[in-house]
């Protein structure tokens, strides 16, 4: 059985789905690995290194795709590569079915079995495959590093003979995986950290990391059975806005991480809230590619609103492609390993398996 992977469009995606380490893991299962030429040279991994581990390198993407039983990617392939798929192949990646309905319909019409890893159920057995957690963890860390680098003041409190520099005050919007990592990183850098989330269960996690949890009076737990945030009521939104507006007057840096899977990012920080912030403050919006948590966020732009800088990255993980690829490729291997029947030496789609059933796009 053959696993293949082709290069992503490096203008938008620098991560890869197969690393040298995972080539070894796939080979240990008796699987063959087909990659296209210069697959990861942009990450400093030359083709010869992949060949040493047992991978086969092809000059054309068509040869890789057409000869593979299973194709692993980061994002859904482009229209040209979709045409190269054949019946009964398997495609695995972050396919985003809510945005790529047309492409997926074309693949499914060709009887290609498509699995989208962002749809993984939040169960213990799926933790080692959880690409949302592994990638969000890195994103939360990098958002703090980037926003602190852009902030023109020191982060920790410093006491000198010339006077005292106050510690920066940071607000984390959304206390999921990215938010919790942002809290931990900010605290390590010496900031005073506040956090808000619609899930009441987040309070204990935030406080365990040294952050102060902002509680909306009379709030209920807005958490799905899968552990994600629900959409909030208008009454809750109004109370949240009032609390945030007062809090933002004293905040230096805001890291926005609030997302609802498959939907537009919730609008949390409105223009009138930004107008009360101090000049020189930073808003770093990790939700930019899904519409942004801030009303003024624009993808891959820095907006200056009365001295407040609003930053939105389309793909912050392109700034950590080696670390992100290492984690993603391990998540991917664990998913493929679950599909692979070691006795039959083939890939088996068992829809009684919750992991397979929930991630399969139909």
Q: Is 88 a catalytic residue?
A: no
Residue 15's nearest CA partner among 37, 45, 57 is 45
Residues 105 and 111: their CA atoms lie apart, in Å, by 10
Count other Cβ atoms within 10 Å, centred on residue 149: 9
Annotate 72-84 with DSSP letters as a single string.
EEEEPPPHHHHTT
Q: CA–CA distance from 19 to each of 53, 132, 145, 337 (Å)?
A: 10, 19, 26, 16
Active-site annotation holder among 128, 133, 200, 289 = 133
Residues 175 and 203: their CA atoms lie apart, in Å, by 9
Which residues lie below 8 Å from residue 109, measured CB to CB, with a gap of 6+? none
CB 204 within 8 A of CB 175: no
CB 256 within 8 A of CB 284: yes
Q: Is 130 a catalytic residue?
A: yes
Q: Is 133 a catalytic residue?
A: yes
CB 341 within 8 A of CB 317: no
Q: Is 127 a catalytic residue?
A: yes
Residue 8's nearest CA partner among 327, 16, 81, 101 is 16
Residues 117 and 93: their CA atoms lie apart, in Å, by 6
Active-site annotation holder among 122, 245, 289, 305 = 122
- 106: helix, strand or coil: helix
Active-site annotation holder among 15, 26, 130, 294 = 130
Annotate 152-188 with DSSP letters as a single string.
SS-SS-EEETTEEEPPPEEEEE--SHHHHHHHHHHHH
Active-site annotation holder among 127, 208, 233, 279 = 127
Active-site annotation holder among 228, 278, 323, 353 = 228
Catalytic residues: 122, 127, 130, 133, 228
């Amino acid at each position: 059985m053959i696993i293949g992977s082709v290069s992503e469009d490096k203008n938008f995606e620098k991560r890869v789905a197969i690393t040298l380490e995972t080539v070894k893991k796939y080979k240990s299962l008796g699987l063959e690995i087909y990659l296209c030429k210069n697959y990861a040279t942009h990450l400093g991994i030359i083709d010869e290194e992949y060949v040493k581990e047992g991978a086969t390198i092809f000059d054309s993407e068509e040869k890789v795709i057409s000869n593979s039983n299973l194709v692993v990617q980061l994002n859904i392939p482009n229209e040209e590569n979709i045409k190269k798929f054949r019946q009964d192949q398997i495609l695995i990646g972050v396919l985003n079915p809510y945005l790529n309905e047309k492409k997926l319909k074309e693949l499914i019409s060709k009887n290609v079995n498509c699995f989208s890893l962002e749809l993984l159920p939040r169960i213990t057995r799926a933790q080692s495959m959880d690409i949302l957690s592994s990638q969000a963890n890195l994103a939360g860390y990098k958002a703090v590093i980037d926003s602190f680098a852009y902030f023109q003041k020191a982060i920790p409190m410093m006491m000198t003979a010339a006077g005292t520099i106050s510690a920066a005050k940071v607000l984390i919007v959304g206390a999921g995986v990215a938010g919790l990592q942002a809290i931990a990183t900010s605290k390590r850098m010496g900031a005073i950290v506040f956090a808000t989330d619609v899930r009441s269960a987040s309070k204990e996690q935030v406080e365990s990391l040294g952050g102060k949890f902002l509680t909306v009076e009379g709030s209920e737990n807005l958490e799905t059975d899968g552990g994600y945030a629900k959409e909030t009521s208008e009454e809750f939104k109004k109370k949240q806005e009032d609390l945030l507006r007062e809090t933002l007057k004293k905040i230096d840096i805001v890291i926005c991480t609030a997302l609802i899977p498959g939907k537009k990012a919730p609008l949390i920080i409105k223009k009138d809230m930004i107008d009360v912030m101090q000049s020189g403050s930073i808003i770093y919006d990790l939700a930019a590619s899904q519409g942004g948590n801030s009303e003024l966020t624009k993808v891959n732009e820095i907006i200056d609103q009365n001295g407040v800088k609003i930053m939105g990255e389309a793909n912050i993980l392109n700034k950590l492609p080696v670390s992100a690829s290492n984690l993603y490729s391990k998540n991917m291997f664990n998913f493929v390993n679950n599909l692979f029947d070691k006795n039959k030496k083939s890939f088996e789609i068992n829809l009684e398996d919750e992991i397979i059933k929930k991630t399969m796009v139909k």
